[in-house]
Chain A
Amino acid sequence: MTKQALSFEKALEKLETIVQEIESGEVPLEKSIEKYAEGIELVKNCRTILDAAEKKIQLLAKGEDGSLTPAGEMEDETDRPDEPAP
């Protein structure tokens, strides 16, 4: 449950931008190698997010001030034998 520095969407967007920049050929070589390193980092970031373990459902309950706060995890129901998840 480690928090990612970037959301998957942001990481993907940034990666896309970097690829397009390098592909455009308008970036100096030194810069494009720099960007490449950054891109590789983003690819790793994206894959880490994708490989994240399945999370339990956080049950929310109303606090004293009326706002919702996590009140624990729900029991896992997805492993029921009747309909095995693919």
Chain B
Amino acid sequence: MARSDLSFFDPSKARGPREGPDVGRDVTADITGGGEPAAPLSVSGLLGRVKAALAGSMPQRVAVLAEISNVKLHGSGHLYFRLKDEHCAIDAVMWRAQAARLKFRPLDGLEVVAEGRVDVYDVRGQLQLYVERLTPRGEGALELAFRQLKEKLQAEGLFDPARKKPIAPYPRAVGIVTSDTGAALRDIRRTLARRWPAATVYLAPALVQGQAAARSVADALAALDAAADRLEIDTILVARGGGSLEDLWPFNEEPLARAVAACRTPVISGVGHEVDVTICDLVADARAATPTAAAEMAVPDAAEARQAVSRLAQRLGRAVMEDLVSARAALAAVLRSAAFRHPTARVRTHAQRVDELSHRLTGGLRRRLAEAHRRLTAPAGRLAALHPAALKERASGRVEKLLHRLRWALGRRARKAEDRLGNLAHRLDAASPARRVRELRQQVRSAERQLEALSYRNVLRRGYSVTRDARGRLMRSIQQVRPGETMQTQLADGTVHSEVSSATAATPAPPAPAPRRTSRGKGRPPPGPTLFDS
């Protein structure tokens, strides 16, 4: 193709078909001027002639099928690239006005049909194609653009499921970005009102078609998102009714996609019909097939929510009722319990315990009492035994023996009584232990007295007597009385009261302690030495 293009530069051919009266004439004249070399031209002159020749021979607009390479988008907005095939290449430029309208990105290697005019770039004397229209080969420009943007954003992770924010199940308010005159708004409005009238609905109107639409929607989205906290907007709907691919195109544009991605508020996209998928759909947190579906997705069904509330209300009532029932049952169980039916049972148990302890206490007391009695009675026995011992010095061996026996008998009796007392003391009931002990003691004492009485009365019967001084003391020595004092002498059958006339010390002959026996001198035979000295 490049070769055939070159043939256009053949001056003879160029002259042939087109012989314009203006430029053509000059050129022809210069080149064909007699065959001899013309006067040298300036570079400008040369290029001027070439350009004129081109303009004269080339069609105003050519279409070139080529592969793009060396793409450079200059800061000025002009797009520079090279068009090539297997063997040849030509530089190309697309001015900003046209380049900005490109839907797809002219990437290296892309096969395109470039349409424009061929001319010489004077500064470098370079042939250049001034491209006015660039279309991808094999697919539509929009399809390509869609694919390109989709791939780009995908690579950035903008479609990543992890990025998607959860949609509020019960939004307080819903924001809508769409045309304020479109069918989409009506559909959304109707659906929201039917399902969830509680939510406030805010509309941020935007253009949804045409060159300015993407920017308009993006701006409305950003503004709505910024106001979301203040207006309690929990969900934003971006919607547009159905249309051609060109109609929906704004929703495939990068600025809009970026605005959706930048929203902090969850965005639901509902653009076009079921079959349409836009970049906006892909970036949004949730995608609905239609505006109506988007609205359904945005709010719950009030009827369902009402049921949910009713179920919870029922569970609440049941739960607290169960609590009450079980509490009541617990109370009933307590009331049925022994403690409540017999409120005094516990007191009684305590009383029993007190009784038991008191019993043990008195028992202990009783034992100690009995012991005390034993201790008291023992000396009493000894005392009884002592008394006859006083007689011992005056009594004969027989008396002594008798006394021994008596003492023994007395002791035995006392011991027996003590034993009995001891035994009994254990068995005494609470009412009478002290009395019984007293009785026993009484018995023991009377027994002692009897024995005592028996013991020396017998001695008296045998002729002995006991003399006491005026104060009742036993007289053991003549020293105890003086003449004129009274004495009492006890005999077996009575007592003699006498007055002392004189006292004579005993003669040493009888070994007995005669002085102690002065009392015997009254009406009584002197005691035989046998009795006391044995």
Contact = CB atoms under 8 A, between A and B. Distances in A.
A83 B309 contact: no
Contacts of A49: 198
Contacts of B204: 60, 68
Nearest to A37: B320
Interface string A22-63: 110101010011011001100100110110111101111010
Interface string B461-486: 00000000000000000000000000
Given A7-B172, A29-B327, A40 B198 contact: no
B323 interface: yes
A35 B319 CA distance: 11
Interface string B304-344: 01101100110111011011101100000000000000000
B413 interface: no
Nearest to A34: B320
Contact of A74 (B180, B198, B323): B180
B53 to A, nearest CB: 57
Contacts, number: 127
Interface string B291-309: 0000000000010011011
B186 interface: yes
Given A52-B198, A58-B202, A68 B223 contact: yes
Interface stretch (B116-124, B189-197, B494-502): B189-197
Contacts of B175: 60
B505 interface: no
B203 A60 contact: yes
Given A8-B305, A23-B319, A68-B227, A50 B313 contact: no
B309 A68 contact: no
A36 to B, nearest CB: 4
6 contacts: A12-B308, A33-B324, A39-B313, A57-B202, A60-B224, A85-B194
Given A19-B315, A77-B185, 9 more contacts: A7-B172, A22-B316, A27-B323, A29-B327, A33-B323, A46-B305, A58-B200, A59-B202, A69-B227
Interface of A: 7-9, 12, 15-16, 18-19, 22-23, 25, 27, 29, 32-33, 35-36, 39-40, 43, 46-47, 49-50, 52-55, 57-60, 62, 66-70, 74, 77-78, 80, 83, 85-86
Interface of B: 168-170, 172, 175-176, 180, 185-186, 189-190, 193-194, 197-205, 223-224, 226-227, 231, 302, 305-306, 308-309, 312-313, 315-317, 319-320, 322-324, 326-327
